[in-house]
Structure 1
Amino acid sequence: MNRSIASGVFSVVSSKVVVLILTAVSTPLLYRYLGAAGFGDYAFLMSVFAIYMIFVSSGITDGVRKFLAEDRREANWSEHVVGFYFRLAVILAVLGAGVMMWAASNGVVDAAFGSELTPYFYVLAVLVITAQFRDYARKTLMGFGLERYSEPLKILDTVGFIFVAIPLVALGFGVTGALAGHLVASVLVAVGGLVIVNRRVSLSCVASLPSREFPRKQMLTFNTMSIALVFLLMSLYHIDIVMLQQFTSSDDVGNYRAALTLAEFLWFVPLAIQTVFVHSTSELWSRNRREKISELAARTTRYTFLLTAVMAVGLAALADVAVPIYFGDEAIPAIAPLLLLLPGSLGFALARPVLAISQGKGTLRFPVAATGAAALINVVLNVALIPTYGMVGAAVATSIGYGTMFAFHCWSARVVGFDPLEDARLLQSTITTILAGIPIVALATTISNPWLALAVVPPLGFVIFVSFALLVGALDPSEPFEILAYAPGTVGSTAESVQERIEETIGAHPPLGGVQWLLFLTGLSLLFSGFVLGFLGAELEFMSP
């Protein structure tokens, strides 16, 4: 990974960490103030809105950041791209808001979802316009490689929502208050983002039309395929919520959404990588650097597996204590679907960067086919399982749909022209997860005090997991420092120095064979588990009230 891409990833990851923390604080407050039923209605409305916005904005947001990032020599290329997509954004936003307003006022929403939800769609119609320009502004900045501006705007969006929505919901405005939070926040981000875009490229370019040679057809074709791709992708996110609303109670929808919220925490790094890779790899594709792309994809797959797996193991080990503390006792039914969602969430996390690299090439028919196959499996299983098994059926169906994404997109990647499994070390990563999972689960099970478990298990579990990853060979000894070397300032320079020393020291020493390592590590894991369940467990039990 070169430093320009790495800096973009760090910018996006940093913002996502902040957004994750803010969301982690605000979501349980919304759940408590709205109640399970109100939170279920809110989750359903946001799912419908997300699916609807695919047709309004997804082609624009993906297109503007891809084509701005391309290294083209046409005169005023950036100005023409910005102007073309701004005009298209205006047209689609007005049409989208008008159609939603018409559907709400002419009984379409009433017939489809019930009269109690109809008033909310008037607010959503206004949100269509503000969200359109919020996303256009942020993605345009990303197309210019200005993540240092686009990502603080994402934080502003979250902060604005929290400062407006939480007080309104607490004062009794319910779901309308939550929607108002999104409306105000999107206005702030849209205005701020467009001001920054105007500094880079004057928005007066909206009034100037490019020549006939401008690739309008290529852009519109990409937009169409992008809309199809995002629609299929979003169906994996939202079809279970929409179907649960039809077959179960709002309480079940709210608890299932709570489970999804926790499972989706696993994706914040893969989503950050995907966000940066779409436009960053466009440049690599334009230079036909296929070997570099395969190397980047394989290493990213390996790191994503390890990071997501350690988070999934920790979340599974602590689910019984984390869910009641986080959402309250009313959310205890969310524990079962959460555990079922975690395996599929790992597969979905692995698929996201691979999909982004395919998007960067611009040939979308194979990624669309791969996503469509996973989406079809997801829909069929949800239809089959939700009416009988409710939340549990939705979780099983969605987890399988998520999991198949990685397999299908590995096939798509090879057809597109790169190999994400070249040095992914999936076997070593899987062995690491299994062996490290034993002592981590044992540790979480032993500690009876929930707050003590939350304080002890995550940091100690991370150390255990990384240790096994190094011993098994899922990580090379120098790689943790190689990753830190991309950080700015003293941290980066110090890590780079340590990385070089490690490589010089161990470069000539061959590793043990796979069978020897497997036997040794299995015994080590079982020995450590016994230690945890014995001496350490007794000590922690003594400390517990």
Structure 2
Amino acid sequence: MGKIVKGIMSVLFSSVSTLVIGLIYQPLLARLAGLELYGEIAALLAWYGILRTVFGLGMFDAIRKYVSDQINEDNNNILIISLFMPIIVASFFYLLMVVILNLFDFFGFINEYKNLFYILGLSLIFANMWTGVRAILYSYHKEDSVVKFDIAIKITNNILILIFVILNFNIYSLAYAFLITGLIKIIFTIVLWKKIIKVDFNFKKILNPQSLLYSKKILRFGIMSVPGILSAQILYKSDILLIDYFLGSSYTGVYKVALTLAEKLWMVPKAVQSVIFHNSSELWGQNKFKELSKIFNESLKYTNLFLILFGVGLFVLAEPFIILVFGNDYALAVSSLQILIIGTFAFGLARIFLSTYSATSWLRVSQIITIVVAIINIILNFVFIPLYGIIGAAIATSFTYFLMLVLALFYYFNNDLKFLVQYNFIKMTGLTFSFFGVHYSLNFLFGGQSLIAILIMSFAGLISFIILGYLFGLFTKQEYEFFKNLIK
């Protein structure tokens, strides 16, 4: 369990750093860009996320899976393949994108953003090289070696976007920033390869029979995982894109604030999911179902506790926080954020189930659930956004997050999946509603919209959460002592 905890803590540190960076960067960008440009950037980021999924072709998960399978063997071939396969795949899709864009241009369907996608596509080729090295290091439980580089990349990218916005590059600010950070990723890739992996760049090994066999396996798994990953991206981005289509950039900018803050609650689920994937795959391959059940249930417990603490806290403090940090122009995001937070509880737990399904023998199940939910999400957004605006988008998205969890649970309880779920639903629900009641009452009586008031309410919320969690029996004595020392 030590390497799993270490991995989760490393990725969590990266996630917390990303959270802090985002809470500084996003308000600055929102204020500097203004509603219109901020909304345009949000829409372009949504398209970029979908494009990144296509260019990635599931390489990150595929490499982690097959390198993890070879973890006890000295096999340099799979490491060489793992580095170059993502580059080859991304280059293929870049050429395909160029052909498609020029065909659209020939028939008069393209606009002035064609060159923008050329730059973004090129940055994705560079990024895929970094993907290969990250996946290898994750497989060897060296997540901590990647963290500082990931943080440096995020900070650099955010600073560059802000600089280009100030210099009035408008929507191209995003493309230029991604291109420069893509070049930085190449440098980091070379550094980590030479420092940790220490395998010579032997191009001949790419074409030998064993390497070709690994290439085929990685490519097959990647292609098989794409429908699920792409559907997940569409699920995450469809509300933004459809708001931009129906309501325009200004409303997109407002909703982006709500969505950005709600996504910050994915921090722990995302960190846990990224680490338990290759660990679950490794334990499954060794038939260690008891250990698999243990890491699954601990992941489920700590993910839910985190969501209760920060989800309820943000729900109660949503209005003063948004107004203070983003400004009055984004006050309309409050209700959407609160609705999205409700759905995020279910989504965080669903990610643990689906990640475990994907890492073991039920990749197709995870994909089908995600595809079904994504389709329903698009349909609901099409109906609700014209009727209820950004509130409708939040309702549609939150509902589909709950549907994802329901489908994941339905499959578990109707099949023999060889890992045991031990989840105290009654106690977790009791803690959620009790904590909400206490925190809401304290904020109603003593809260305010100043920074000091928000900090005091946040600290009061943390103390009440720890006390209630202990009273409900959800913290062990060691965990309770940890929280006490944390406060001190």
User: TM-score normalised to the size of structure 1?
Assistant: 0.83
Aligned residue in 1 for 2:475:
475
The reply on whether 1:148 has 2:144 as its aligned counterpart is yes
User: Contact 1:69/1:145 (CA < 8 Å) preserved in 2?
Assistant: no
1:10–1:81 distance in 2 versus 1, CA, 3 Å = same
Deviates more, 1:323-332 or 1:408-417: 408-417
Give the alignment of 1:372-411 within 5 angstroms.
372-411=371-410
Partner AA of 1:461 in structure 2: G
Aligned residue in 1 for 2:268:
269
In the alignment, the residues of structure 1 paired with residue 453 and residue 107 of structure 2 have an alpha-carbon distance, to the nearest angstrom, of: 47
CA deviations 1:205-239 (Å, max 9, x no partner) are: 44313435945544333112211121121121111
In the alignment, the residues of structure 1 paired with residue 242 and residue 424 of structure 2 have an alpha-carbon distance, to the nearest angstrom, of: 37
Partner AA of 1:386 in structure 2: I
The reply on whether 1:175 has 2:171 as its aligned counterpart is yes
Give the alignment of 1:293-312 within 5 angstroms.
293-312=292-311
In the alignment, the residues of structure 1 paired with residue 108 and residue 79 of structure 2 have an alpha-carbon distance, to the nearest angstrom, of: 40
CA deviations 1:17-51 (Å, max 9, x no partner) are: 11211111011111111111111111111111211
Q: Partner of 1:172: helix, strand, or coil?
A: coil
Deviation at 1:440, TM superposition (A): 0.5
Give the alignment of 1:255-334 within 5 angstroms.
255-334=254-333
User: Contact 1:19/1:155 (CA < 8 Å) preserved in 2?
Assistant: yes
Aligned residue in 1 for 2:47:
48
Partner AA of 2:34 in structure 1: G
Larger radius of gyration: 1
The reply on whether 1:136 has 2:132 as its aligned counterpart is yes
In the alignment, the residues of structure 2 paired with residue 29 and residue 416 of structure 1 have an alpha-carbon distance, to the nearest angstrom, of: 50
Partner AA of 1:123 in structure 2: I
Deviation at 1:480, TM superposition (A): 4.1
In the alignment, the residues of structure 1 paired with residue 468 and residue 437 of structure 2 have an alpha-carbon distance, to the nearest angstrom, of: 12
User: Contact 1:348/1:405 (CA < 8 Å) preserved in 2?
Assistant: yes
CA deviations 1:100-126 (Å, max 9, x no partner) are: 3344444469977x7354442232122
User: Contact 1:157/1:185 (CA < 8 Å) preserved in 2?
Assistant: yes
The reply on whether 1:421 has 2:421 as its aligned counterpart is yes
Deviation at 1:420, TM superposition (A): 6.0
Deviates more, 1:244-253 or 1:98-107: 98-107
Q: Which runs of 5+ in 2 are unaligned?
A: none
In the alignment, the residues of structure 2 paired with residue 371 and residue 472 of structure 1 have an alpha-carbon distance, to the nearest angstrom, of: 33
Give the alignment of 1:136-535 within 5 angstroms.
136-199=132-195, 200-208=197-205, 209-211=207-209, 214-413=213-412, 415=415, 417-419=417-419, 421-422=421-422, 424-446=423-445, 447-481=447-481
Q: Partner of 2:477: helix, strand, or coil?
A: coil
In the alignment, the residues of structure 2 paired with residue 299 and residue 402 of structure 1 have an alpha-carbon distance, to the nearest angstrom, of: 22
The CA RMSD measured in Å over matched residues stands at: 2.5
Alignment partner for residue 80 of structure 1, among 63, 77, 90? 77
The reply on whether 1:121 has 2:117 as its aligned counterpart is yes
Q: Partner of 1:115: helix, strand, or coil?
A: coil
In the alignment, the residues of structure 1 paired with residue 301 and residue 3 of structure 2 have an alpha-carbon distance, to the nearest angstrom, of: 20
User: Contact 1:161/1:182 (CA < 8 Å) preserved in 2?
Assistant: yes
The reply on whether 1:91 has 2:88 as its aligned counterpart is yes
Partner AA of 1:138 in structure 2: R
User: Contact 2:39/2:256 (CA < 8 Å) preserved in 1?
Assistant: yes
- Number of equivalences: 482
In the alignment, the residues of structure 2 paired with residue 39 and residue 84 of structure 1 have an alpha-carbon distance, to the nearest angstrom, of: 39
Identical pairs, percent: 25
Deviation at 1:148, TM superposition (A): 1.8
In the alignment, the residues of structure 1 paired with residue 449 and residue 378 of structure 2 have an alpha-carbon distance, to the nearest angstrom, of: 40
Q: Which runs of 5+ in 1 are unaligned?
A: 485-490, 493-545
1:238–1:376 distance in 2 versus 1, CA, 3 Å = same
Deviation at 1:282, TM superposition (A): 1.8
In the alignment, the residues of structure 2 paired with residue 18 and residue 28 of structure 1 have an alpha-carbon distance, to the nearest angstrom, of: 16
Partner AA of 2:425 in structure 1: L
Which structure ranks higher in relative contact order (CA pairs < 8 Å, sequence separation ≥ 6)?
2
User: Contact 2:65/2:278 (CA < 8 Å) preserved in 1?
Assistant: yes
1:389–1:126 distance in 2 versus 1, CA, 3 Å = same
1:442–1:85 distance in 2 versus 1, CA, 3 Å = same
Aligned residue in 1 for 2:12:
13
Partner AA of 1:5 in structure 2: I
The reply on whether 1:29 has 2:25 as its aligned counterpart is no
User: Contact 1:37/1:250 (CA < 8 Å) preserved in 2?
Assistant: yes
Deviation at 1:96, TM superposition (A): 2.0
Deviates more, 1:444-453 or 1:300-309: 444-453
Deviation at 1:173, TM superposition (A): 1.7
User: TM-score normalised to the size of structure 2?
Assistant: 0.92
In the alignment, the residues of structure 1 paired with residue 483 and residue 66 of structure 2 have an alpha-carbon distance, to the nearest angstrom, of: 29
Partner AA of 2:177 in structure 1: G
